[in-house]
Amino acid sequence: MSTRQLDKTYDPKSVESRWYQTWEAHGYFHADPGDPGQPYCIVIPPPNVTGSLHVGHALNHSLQDILIRWRRMQGRNTLWLPGTDHAGIATQNVVEKQLMAEGASKESLGRERFVERVWQWKAASGNTIINQQKQLGESCDWDRLRFTMDEGLSRAVVEVFVRLYEDGLIYRGERLINWCPRCLTALSDIEVEHEEIKGKLYSISYPLEEDPQTVLTVATTRPETMLGDTAVAVHPDDPRYNSLIGRLVRVPLTRRSIPIVGDPILVDREFGTGAVKITPAHDFNDFEAGERHNLPRLAIFDHQALLDPAGLKAAEVEDDIAAAVTGLPVVKARPKIEQALRDRGFLAKVEDHKMSIGKCYRCKTIVEPYLSPQWFVKIKPLAGPAIDAVEQGHIRIIPEGWINNYLGWMRDIKDWCISRQIWWGHQIPAWYCRSCNRRFIHEETTQGPAGTPITRVTLLQGATPIVARSTPAQCPSCAGSDFLRDPDVLDTWFSSGLWPFSTLGWPDRTPELETYYPTSTLVTGLDILFFWVARMIMLGLKFMDDVPFRDVYIHALVRDAEGQKMSKSKGNVIDPLHVMDQYGTDALRFTLASMASPGRDIKLAEERIEGYRNFANKIWNAARFSHLYLDGPRHQTALEERSFPDRWIISRLNRTIETVNAELESYRFDRAAGALYQFMWHEYCDWYLELIKPTLQDPSHPEAPAARQTLAETLEIIMRLLHPFMPFLTEEIWQTLPHEGDSVMVQSYPSADPAKHAPAMEQRFALLEQAVGLIRTARVLLNYTPGQPVDFAVTHDEMTRRRQLEELRPHLERLGRGRFETGSLSGPSADKRLRLVTEGLSVAIRVTGDVDLQKALGRIVKQQEEQEKEIVRLEGKLRNQEFTAKAPLEVIADHRQRLASLQGDQTMLASSEEQLRVMLGA
C-alpha cells in the first residue's frame, strides 16, 4: 500500500508520458496469435503518413482504444493494428509545394529522384502522427506498425492486381474520366466533390444546313464546348423536331456540319428547348450518347483544360475564333465564345441557372471530363457478394441507418478507375514491349526551366500491356526485351482496400491471418464508407473468401474546414493537441466518448472538455480522500454484515458495471460514459463518501475497518471500470491503492454480480436522499447558513418507513446538519416550525432567530399553485381513464397514488400558510 501524497489538483502532464512509456516497455500493447483468449482485433483506419492528429482522429481513435482496452481487460487476445497510408495525391501535392518553394518541380527532378524525395519527407514527418497517437494513449501494437507502401503491403498490392487482371476484372480502356487539370491525374467518381453554383443557361441557335434561315436552338451551361459538338439530339417522339432527324446543322463558329439524331435517353422534351448538343469528348452523358450513335469525339481541351490548338484545328474552328481562344483555360474561353456567338447572332438567350460542378477532393480545382486511356476494375462481380454480406448480416453496420446508404451505393456502383497519373504510389505492374508498341508510345523530351531534360511519356490507347508480378524477361509476341513500365500508379484506396488482410501478412498464410482475420470491429467515420469500407468488403470477400470485419461502427463526424460547423476562418477549430495539453488527455477522451451518440454530428465546445477535466479532478480528489483513511486496518467482512452505505454503494457500483458493459457491447459510448459520470460524481462522491465520513473519521468506530475495506475495494474496481475511458488517471490512482499486479490495464474488467444487488438498500437510500433533500430545502427557505445547526423532525405516513428513518438518524443528523428531534410534529405547538411534506414524508424544522418570511412564503405559495394545477390535471386524466377503462390498471393505480400523495401535500401546505404566519411570528 502506498501512502504517497497526492497533489490537490490532478496534473495530467506529470503522469501521462510516464505511464505510456511504462506500458509500452512492458509490452502490454503487444498481441501474439499464440496468446490465450478469443481473438479481438481492430485495424486502425490508417491516417495519412504525413498528416497530424485532428479532432476527427481523436474521436475515431479514442473510441477504438476504449474498445481495445475493454476487450483486453476482459481477457480477449486483443490486437489493435496501427499503420499509415501513403495518401498518393495528398502527399505528392505537399512535396510538390515544397519543391515549388525551392524553385524546382517534380519534372526537373525526374521521377526517381522525386519519389526518393517523398520518401525523405515521409521519414522526416511520418512519425509526427504516431507520436501524437501515443500522446492520446492509444494502445496499439506498435511492433506491427504497417505502411501501405512498405514491402509486404506492396507485394499484396501487386498480387491482387495480377489476380484481378487474370480473372478479367481489371482492364485498360479509353473512357471519359474525371480529370483534375491541376494534379494532372484521373480521379475516381467519388474523389469528385460536387458543389452547387449559380450558372447560366445559354441557348444557341444552330442553322440547318440546307435552310440556314431555320435554326435549331439548343440549351447548354457550357457554351465553350460547342466547338467540339458532333451532333445535336432531339427526342424521336417530339413532333416539333422528329422530322429533322437525319438532317444536318451547321456548328456556329466552325466550318463543320453535324447530324441531328434522335435519342430518347439523352433528351428530356420538357427541358430547355427540347434539343441538346452532343460533345462526346467533354461530357459524360454525351460520351454515352456518342457511343450509341457512333459519333466522333472531338477533344478541344488538353490535359490542363486549356483550349488545344490541334483540337481546335480538328474541329475546324474558324481561324479568328481559334486564334482568340487557343491556350486559354475554360473559364476564360467561355466569355469569348459567348461574345462571338452573340456578335454573330447565334446566341438566342442567356438565363440564370443552378448547376453543380465537380471539384478535386484534394486540391478543389474544377475537374474536367477528359478522354484518356485508364485502368479500371470491373466492379459489379465484386459488389454482388459485398451486398449479400451486409444483407445477410455477416457484417453488421451500426447504426443500422447507414445500411441503406451502403446498399444503394453498392447496387448502383460503376467501374472503378484505379489509375492515377502521379508518381507517388504503387506503380501499376504492367509493361509494354517497346518494339511491339512503338506506335503507341510517345516519349517526348523537352528542356526544363533549369536546363534539365524533362521526359514525358504518353501511352496511347491500343498499347498491349503485359501484366506480371515483376519485369518480364521477354516479350511473348516478339521476344523483345526492351520494356516500358506503365507510368501510372494505383489509386491510394486500392492499397488501403486490402488493409485488413495485407497488414496481417497476406498473401502468405501467417498465424496472424489465421488468428485475427476476420477482424472484429471497424470503427470509422461516414466520410470513408464508400472510399474505404466498401472496397475492403469487396476485396476481402474476393481474396480471403470471408468478410474483413464483423461489425462496422460508424461514428459521428466532427466537421471542420469547409464543413460549416468548424472552420479555421471562424476560429472555432479545436486542436486535440492543444486540448490534451490544456485539459489532459483523459478529459478529451472522456468528452469525445460521452458525445459519441449515434446519428448526430459532434459539435465540440471547449467548455464541455473543461467540464470533464473537472470530472477527472473530482476522481482525483476522491482518491486523495481515500488516502486520508486507508492506512488503518481493513477487515474483509461478509457483504451482509457491512453497513448500509457500504452495501448501498456496492449495489450501485454493481449496477453501473452492468450498464457500462452492456452499453459498450452495443457501441453506446455516450451512455457508458454517462453512467460512469453519474455514478462516480453523484452517487459515489456526493453521497457515499459523505455517508462514511463519520465512520472513517472516528478511529475507534467498530465499523471503520469494514468501511475502509469497502472504500479501497470500490475505488479499485472503479479505476478498472473507468480505465478504458481515462487510462492515465486511472493508472496513476490505481497504483496508489491496495492492488495486485503491475498495471491496471492488464487487470480483469469488472463484471456484474447479481449477488451484490441490494434493492432494500437502494430503497432505504432513496428515503434518506428525499429526507435530507427536504431538510436542506427547508434550511435554504429559512436562510440558514449551511453550517448552522438546526433541530428537525422527520416522519412518514408508513410505519416501516418511520422505522427506517429512525435507523437513519445518524446520517440524517450529519447530512441535515442538526438534531433529529423525536416526538410529535403535528398540531399546534409553541415552537415555530417550518414543515415540508412530500409523498408521505414529512419534515419539520424549528425556526429560530430572524428569517426571511416573505421569501419562504413566496416559495411555498408558488409551489402550492403548481401542485394545484397538477392536481387538477391529474384528476381530469384519472376520471377519463376510469371512465373509459382502457388504460392499464397499473397506470391508473400509479396515477391514483400520485394524486393522493399530491393532495396530502397540498392539504398540509394549504393549512400551513396561515399556520406558518403564526408559527413564524408573522
Residues 270-289 that bind RNA (CB under 7 A): 270-277, 283-285
Quick one: three-class SS letters along 813-846? HHHCCEEECCCCCCCCCCCCEEEEEECCEEEEEE
**Toward RNA, which CB reaches closer, 491 or 670?**
670
The per-residue b/e assignment along 61-79, b for 16 or more CB within 10 angstroms, e otherwise, is bbbbbbbbbbbbbbebbbb
Taking CB under 7 A as the rule, does residue 614 contact RNA?
yes
Q: Which stretch binds RNA (CB under 7 A): 66-74, 122-130, 473-481, 669-677?
A: 669-677
Instruction: Tell me if 191 sits within 8 A of 184, measured CB to CB.
Output: no
From candidates 622, 657, 744, 837, binder to RNA by CB under 7 A: 622
* Residue number with CB closer to RNA (76 or 796): 796
Is residue 607 a contact point for RNA (CB under 7 A)?
Answer: yes
Within 13 A of 659's CA, how many CA atoms are on the CB side? 18
Q: Does 732 bind RNA (CB under 7 A)?
A: no
Closest CB to RNA among 380 and 682? 682
Instruction: Decide whether 26 or 862 has the Cβ nearer to RNA.
Output: 862
Q: How far apart are CA 371 and CA 283, in angstroms?
A: 10
Can you tell me which of 599, 741, 789, 921 binds RNA, judged by CB under 7 A?
599
The SS3 assignment for 522 reads: strand
Q: Which is nearer to RNA, 367 or 467 (CB)?
A: 367
Which of 1, 8, 197, 632 is in the footprint of RNA by CB under 7 A?
8
Which DSSP string do the residues of 557-598 spell out, in sequence order? -B--TTSTTS-TTTT-PPPHHHHHHHH-HHHHHHHHHHH--T
884 burial (CB, 10 Å; 0-12 / 13-18 / 19+) is exposed
Choose which of 58, 81, 158, 190 interacts with RNA (CB under 7 A).
Answer: 190
Q: Is residue 530 a contact residue for RNA (CB under 7 A)?
A: yes
Only one of the segments 84-92, 168-176, 405-413, 647-655 lies at the binding site for RNA (rule: CB under 7 A); that segment is 405-413
In the complex with RNA, which residue's Cβ is closer, 3 or 785?
785
Instruction: Indicate whether 522 belongs to the interface with RNA (CB under 7 A).
Output: no
Nearer to RNA, 92 or 279 (CB): 279
By CB under 7 A, name the one of 294, 447, 564, 700 that touches RNA: 564
Least distance (Å) between residue 252 CB and RNA: 15
Cell 388504460, located at residue: 887
Contact with RNA (CB under 7 A) among 120, 304, 339, 404: 404
Query: Least CB distance from residue 885 to RNA, whole Å?
Result: 8
Q: Which of 625, 679, 728, 820 binds RNA (CB under 7 A)?
A: 625
Q: Tell me if 443 contacts RNA by CB under 7 A.
A: no
The verdict on 250 binding RNA (CB under 7 A) reads no
Q: Which neighbouring-strand residues pair with 200? A: 352
Closest CA to 812 of 644, 699, 683: 644
> 641 vs 894, which CB is nearer to RNA?
894
Q: Please give the Cα distance from 503 to 714 (Å, whole number).
A: 41
Q: Which helix (H) or strand (E) holds 353?
A: strand 347-360
Q: Which of residues 328-367 bind RNA (CB under 7 A)?
A: 353, 355-356
Q: Least distance in Å: CB of 329 to RNA?
A: 19
Which residues, 680 to 709, sit near RNA by CB under 7 A? 681-682, 685-686, 689-690, 693
Among 105, 217, 365, 621, binds RNA (CB under 7 A): 621
CB 775 within 8 A of CB 818: yes
Taking CB under 7 A as the criterion, which residues in 105-164 touch RNA? Answer: none
Taking the least distance from each CB to RNA, the nearer of 466 and 771 is 771
Report the SS3 class of residue 757. coil
> Pick from 332, 603, 635, 803: which binds RNA (CB under 7 A)?
603
C-beta closer to RNA: residue 408 or 462: 408
Q: Count Cβ atoms within 10 A of the Cβ of residue 464 and give its class: 0-12 exposed, 13-18 middle, 19 or more buried.
A: middle
Rounded CA-CA distance 427/310 in Å is 31
- What is the nearest approach in angstroms of RNA to the Cβ of residue 720? 19
Using the contact rule CB under 7 A, the part of the chain among 142-150, 465-473, 750-758, 876-884 near RNA is 876-884
| End-to-end CA separation in angstroms for the chain | 60
Rounded least distance, CB 485 to RNA, Å: 32
CB of 355 to RNA, least distance (A): 4
CA distances, 492 to each of 294, 360, 363, 535 (Å): 35, 15, 16, 12
Rounded CA gap, 208 and 427, in Å? 51
Q: Which of residues 773-812 bind RNA (CB under 7 A)?
A: 773, 776-777, 780, 783, 785-787
The per-residue DSSP string of 375-398 comes to EEE--HHHHHHHHHHHHTTSSEEE
Cα distances (Å, whole numbers) of residue 303 to 176, 369, 458, 488: 12, 10, 12, 15
Among 1, 861, 891, 893, binds RNA (CB under 7 A): 891
CB of residue 732 vs RNA: minimum separation in angstroms?
14
Nine-digit cell at 834?
A: 417550518
Shortest distance, position 856 Cβ to RNA, whole Å? 11
Contact segment (CB under 7 A) with RNA among 253-261, 326-334, 440-448, 877-885 equals 877-885
Closest CA to 208 of 172, 247, 180, 176: 247
Considering only CA atoms, which of 152, 155, 95, 154 is closest in space to residue 119? 95
- Least distance (Å) between residue 766 CB and RNA: 11
Give helix then strand counts, H and E, for the chain. Answer: 29, 29
| Cis check: omega of the bond before 507, within 30 degrees of 0 | yes
CB of 471 to RNA, least distance (A): 37
Residue at 2: amino acid letter? S
Q: Say how many residues make up the chain.
A: 922
Report the residue number, 87 or 529, with the smaller CB distance to RNA. Answer: 529
State which H helix or E strand residue 441 sits in.
strand 441-447
Q: Based on CB atoms, which residue is closest to RNA, 335 or 563?
A: 563
Using CB under 7 A, pick the residue from 155, 182, 222, 394 that binds RNA.
222
Q: Tell me the backbone φ, ψ of residue 78, rounded to 5 degrees.
A: -105, 120
The residue behind cell 487482371 is 165
The CB-of-107 to RNA minimum distance in angstroms stands at 33
Chain centroid to CA 815: how far? 45
User: DSSP letters of 616-647?
Assistant: HHHHHHHHHHHHHHTTS------GGGS-HHHH
Q: Pick between residue 324 and residue 685 the one whose CB is nearest to RNA.
A: 685
Complex with RNA: residue 316 or 610, whichever CB lies closer: 610
Q: Residue 546 carries which DSSP code? A: S
Q: Which of 209, 601, 791, 875 binds RNA (CB under 7 A)?
A: 601
Q: Please report whether residue 378 would count as binding RNA according to CB under 7 A.
A: no
Q: How far is the CB of 796 from RNA (least distance, A)?
A: 16
Identify which range of 427-435, 437-445, 637-645, 880-888 contacts RNA by CB under 7 A: 880-888
Residue of the chain from 331, 628, 760, 900 that contacts RNA (CB under 7 A): 628
Q: What is the DSSP letter of 234?
A: E
Q: Which stretch binds RNA (CB under 7 A): 121-129, 142-150, 613-621, 702-710?
A: 613-621
Q: Are 916 and 857 in contact (CB under 8 A)?
A: yes
Q: Which of 76, 74, 70 is nearest to 35 (CA)?
A: 76
* Cα–Cα dist 874/705, whole Å: 50
409 binds RNA (CB under 7 A): yes
Count residues binding RNA (CB under 7 A). 94
250/56 Cα distance (integer angstroms): 55
Give the residue, chosen from 128, 257, 597, 864, that forms a contact with RNA under the rule CB under 7 A.
597
Single out the segment in contact with RNA by CB under 7 A; choices: 311-319, 344-352, 397-405, 801-809.
Answer: 397-405
